Amino acid sequence: MTLLDKLTCLYKSGLALLLIPFFFACDDPSQLGLEVPDTDDRFNVQKAEFSLPVSTIYIDSLISGYSNFSTFGQYTDPVTGKVRATAYNLIGIDGGHLPDTTDTFLRAYMKLAVSENRMNSELVGEELHIHEAEDSLFTSAVYLSRNSIPYNSEPILSHTFDFDPTGTRPDSIITVDLSDELALKYYNQLYRAAIDGSGETLDSLRRNYFFRKPLVFVPGENNQGLYNFDVTSEYTGIYFEMENDAKDTVYTYKYKFRRHFSNLERDKTGSELQNLTEDYQENASTDTYSYSDVMAGVYTKVSLQPLLDFIEDQKLVTVNSSRIQLQATDPNQNFTSNIQAFNGFFVLGDGRINGPGGQAQDQNGSPNPAASRNAILRDESYFSAQPALLNITLDSTNLYRANMALFTQLLFDNHENDKEFITKEFVLVSPRSSTLNQTALINSEVKLTLYYTSLTE
């Protein structure tokens, strides 16, 4: 019997009151008087609490090209180890003034809007080396954080910058002047398109038919910060300035970043989690905290076994509320924050999660019907053709909370129908696949509180 079948059956049996707690779940059984009258001895409202075991695992298969951020830099963390991020960026036209035959090229520069950073202090002498890749980036390809593309060993541009995340006006833009050789290479494409009387070259420019090698951002060996460049920012891009013949007007044309991904090299040598070297390996040495750090490939896995043991001892049950809460520590670095929310991705039969299969939308933006088989959904999504993942969100006390009532009801239904549980454990994954934030959860403070209604025997 499915969840919907059960609800229909209860309704036809005159037990429609059981439906109401699905949609008006409370924290306190005493508040259920409206839904389940105290005078009705057919119902039994109860509460159960569980401590859920958690652990830290390593997942090396992060999809890094679907976010709005191009990750660059290098950072060493005492818990999760060293991460070195090399960013691959393919540029395309954005718009502006195309050069006229009387215009004079002035300069070109790149702006990188920093949306997020990870560092321990103000940094001086950070290095950005720009190389040209030997192959292109393809729009239909899926790039993982372990993927890379060969690039020319000699940089076409090197830039040194300082970065201060403190103060009343923290740094948020990195500006890089392009060399004349590199600038004119792209400027000449604009010029040829502007003067071509047939319009074919201009059409090719607008359709991004011109081949441009991806630009590879390589950090210096001694860099100490990680940066997320927002490729959707109105500021991020390559700007070309030109002056008219009268020298009284300066025009601008802009290229934007149209495709990107980041390769992440990870080294946990000497860190607290140095034993995590294989994909989906579980850390057995840390019993106080469990960690989440997307950049380091570190995730928290939550076991549902105490809840499942309880379910196997029950009969027909309606879940009123199933609230999970996970207590995090205060961030232990000056310029990092806790991850703002988590989704719960099922650990499947092969011991892995299906990240793309759990997304509410596929890469084309269409609803993904497989989401309910791969991740915990919001309650309303179990009755909708538009799935939405449940967000386990952080509050001001560093506590993550969410109500997963219908997911828990599905687990009860699995047992009632003699089916395997849809999952026995899940992995906490940030909805922001390239976040630089980190979270340490207190293992003893991961709880599930269940309110449920059953028929009195």
Could you report the per-residue pLDDT of 419-435, keeping only the tens digit for each? 999 999 999 999 988 89
**Among the three residues 219, 240, 267, which one is the final residue of a domain in this structure?**
267
Residue closest to 389 by CA, chosen among 419, 368, 413: 368
CB neighbour list of residue 136: distance below 8 Å, 6 or more residues apart: 90, 211, 213, 214
Residue 24 clears pLDDT 70, i.e. is over it: no
**Whether residues 195 and 292 fall in one domain:** no
**Whether residues 284 and 154 fall in one domain:** no
Average pLDDT, the chain: 85
**Whether residues 216 and 318 fall in one domain:** no
Task: Find the mean pLDDT for residues 61-89.
Answer: 91
Q: Indicate the burial class of 124 (C-beta count within 10 angstroms; 0-12, 13-18, 19 or more).
A: exposed
Residue 364's pLDDT band, with cuts at 50, 70 and 90, is low
Give the residue numbers spanning the domain of 161: 69-267
Residue 88 clears pLDDT 80, i.e. is over it: yes
Lowest mean pLDDT among 169-173, 213-217, 370-374: 370-374
Distance from the Cα of residue 349 to its chain's centroid: 24
Does 272 fall in a domain?
A: no
Does 274 fall in a domain?
A: no
**Whether residues 88 and 208 fall in one domain:** yes
Residue 335 clears pLDDT 80, i.e. is over it: no
What's the pLDDT score for residue 150?
95
What's the pLDDT score for residue 29?
45
What's the pLDDT score for residue 429?
94
Lowest mean pLDDT among 152-161, 186-195, 220-229: 186-195
Residue 319 clears pLDDT 50, i.e. is over it: yes
What's the pLDDT score for residue 15?
38
User: How many independent structural domains does the chain possess?
Assistant: 2
